[in-house]
Amino acid sequence: MDMVVTPPHNQSQFSHPHLTESLIYFTSDMPVDPAVVKRISLWVYEAASAFNIFYCITLSLAIKTSKNKSLPATYIYNMAISNALLVMFGIAVYILPYYMSDKTYKMYRDTIGPQISVGVTFLYLHPMLTLILMTINRIAVVLSMQASKLFTANKIWFYTSLHMIANFVCLLIPYLSECQINYDQRAVGFMSECAPKRHPITTFSNYYSVFFPFVAFFFNVLVIINFKLQRSPTYAKIKRILRGGKEDQFATTMPSDVLKAKKKTERMLMIQAFITAFYLSVYELTSLVLRVAPEIFSSLSLDGKMAFTYFRLAQIPCHVFLVYFIFTPVTRKIYLDFLRQRVFCMKPAKKTIKVSTTSTSTKK
């Protein structure tokens, strides 16, 4: 998913993960048993994966049945479904092999390893490419509300289909070459069948895909700054100058209620794009650090590498929950109402209506 590595020369490619040194030092003064940390990190990853699959499926159903038309539903479907599928493929790539014997795992890896490696990489890159589309969407609407015509639900599905096809083709070419990629759970890394060589597309993806979230994060910060400066008279003058002294005709001719709904949708999308960019940037930061200083990872024992990998992978299932439940109150309410009514068959929560009364005194 992140790097293609080759197994060390002094280590059997299918050596069992438990046959390692019993203790390493994660810190300079505190001994830690890496096998215990590895098991704990695996349990965390398994629990997060199981919860994620349930949450993403029920979130998609909640959005589908919702009557709220201001939701950026297409982006939510893309993120939720791809994240759930990524977790499912992750179970096949990272979790199931842990419980297999070396002999069984070798047969498993030789049989379907390349296919599930392509699947997990495709689903790993999909949210990044969708994030780039969300960011372009935001920038276009900031420049002119008329650009929202280019980002209707059907057109967004079309754009995502295009980047899915491009993503798949870029992964299919190395898959059909002699430099096929296959993840090795025992060596903790993606292996190239033509190692130490790699396919040029694989090399390009490894080095540059890590920067996608950082670029998106930078532009989303600019969008938020633009949003905060909207009430500034000076900023309004600068925008009019950039537009040649003209107002946004599309915004001025739009009915007020429609304009209000569109602005609500755009604000929601802005928050979701920013949180997604920030979250993916934090995740990719560890990958960037490992590439700049690979000795940090290589100095760990095999159990230590697996513990680090499982803890890092446990962040992936949290992405959709963090964005659409923690940081988006609208989707959180829709989701909780869906659970209450459709899953647990409870009556909808009663709405409390506050009635203000005014007392009048009469003079006799």
Walk along the chain (364 residues) and give the pLDDT tens digit of each residue: 554 444 444 444 444 444 334 334 444 444 677 888 889 999 999 999 999 999 999 999 999 999 888 888 999 999 999 999 999 999 999 999 999 999 999 999 999 999 999 999 999 999 999 999 999 998 888 877 788 889 999 999 999 999 999 999 999 999 999 999 999 999 888 999 988 889 999 888 888 888 888 898 899 888 888 877 776 777 777 767 766 655 555 445 555 555 566 666 677 777 888 888 888 888 888 877 877 777 888 888 888 889 889 988 998 899 999 999 999 899 999 999 999 988 888 776 665 555 544 444 444 4
> Residue 183 pairs with which residues in a beta bridge?
190
Domain ranges of the chain: 24-343
Query: In whole angstroms, how far apart are CA 158 and each of 37, 105, 264?
Result: 44, 39, 23
182 within 8 A of 117, measured Cβ to Cβ: yes
**In this structure, what token pair is assigned to residue 245?**
């002294």
What are 98's two structure tokens?
A: 């842990």
- For residues 335 and 59, the answer to whether their CB atoms sit within 8 Å is yes
User: Strands (DSSP E) along 7-115, which ranges?
Assistant: 24-25, 31-32
Q: Which two tokens stand for residue 17?
A: 């993960």
Is-cis flag, bond preceding 97, omega within 30?
no
24-343 classified as CATH 3.30.565.10: no
Question: Burial, 95: exposed, middle or buried (Cβ in 10 Å; 0-12, 13-18, 19+)?
Answer: middle
Quick one: pLDDT at residue 178? 92
Query: Measured between alpha carbons, how far is 201 from 167 in angstroms, rounded to an integer?
Result: 11
To which H or E segment does residue 191 belong?
strand 189-192
Query: Which residues, including other chains, have CB under 8 Å from residue 159's CB and lie 6 or more apart?
Result: 133
Residue whose tokens read 């009430």: 231
pLDDT score for 67 = 87
Can you give the pLDDT at residue 88? 96
CA 339/CA 332 separation, integer angstroms? 11
- What residue type is 51 in one-letter code? F
Contacts of 93 (CB under 8 A, 6+ apart): 116, 117, 120, 183, 185
Asked if residue 196 has a cis previous peptide bond (ω within 30° of 0), the answer is: yes
pLDDT score of 4: 44
Angle at 303 between CA 95 and CA 105, to 5 degrees: 40
